[in-house]
Amino acid sequence: MIPLRDSVRTQSWPVVTWALIAVNVWVFFFEVSLGPAVEALIETWGFVPARYFLLAQAEPAAWLDRFLPLLTSMFLHGGWMHLIGNMVYLWIFGDNVEDRLGHGRYLTFYLLTGLCAGLAHAYLHPDSLIPSVGASGAISGVLGGYLMLLPRARVVALVPLLFFPYIVELPAVVYIGFWFLMQFVSGTLAWAMAPDASGVAWWAHVGGFVAGVVLTLAVGQRRSYPRIWADQFASR
């Protein structure tokens, strides 16, 4: 299912969400400009679980070398579809979470859930030498936050069924719940069949989502935000 829009109108400009999208797009164009040299960029700034654990043993004090790739990998993408898919999710769900948390807390929330997502992936695939890249983990955290803050919202999605796409409107709890179930099942099956493989970082998605739920429950929405908006669930 491809999300098209949600039913909740924001009450503030989502400047952090826009900035995150702009940075991700800019970095991707930079990747494209490198041509074949992009592989070196991915190897250096992508997150490699095996390297993370090796550095922990060989150079325990090298915190920056261990943790910086967790951050930089969140702004790298492996292709146009990877980028577009992530940015669509960030655009549709991120503005509402930013609206509820406030700009500063939202940015911190986004980065923390991305870090948690990368660590979840690492601990499930500790021997992986494949660089992990993409904003999916942090965006999974955004989905977890959205579910906690706006479970009654509705999501309009495109369902490509054979050659006949359908547009459906679902409660956010159903749409996001189904999305999470697919990540969990896919991650479990992939890990059971090939524990050392990590073509898609399913557990980064799961870890980011769980981190988003936990952090949202811990911090809640900003105190100055009205509890009820008359048009909160109006279609747009």
Residue-wise pLDDT tens for the chain (236 aa)?
889 999 998 899 999 999 999 999 999 999 999 999 999 999 999 999 999 999 988 888 888 989 999 999 999 999 999 999 999 999 999 999 999 999 999 999 999 999 999 999 999 888 889 999 999 999 999 999 999 999 999 999 998 877 778 899 999 999 999 999 999 998 888 767 765 555 678 889 999 999 999 999 988 766 555 544 433 443 33
* Report field, pTM of the whole predicted structure over 0.75: yes
Burial grade of 209 (CB within 10 A; 0-12, 13-18, 19 or more) = buried
The side-by-side arrangement of strands in the sheet containing 164-171 is 2-6, 154-161, 164-171
State residue 75 phi and psi, 5-degree precision.
Answer: -115, 10
Total Cβ atoms within 10 A of residue 178: 13
In the chain, the domains with their CATH numbers are: 2-219 (1.20.1540.10)
Burial grade of 33 (CB within 10 A; 0-12, 13-18, 19 or more) = exposed
Distance CA 124, CA 107 (A): 26
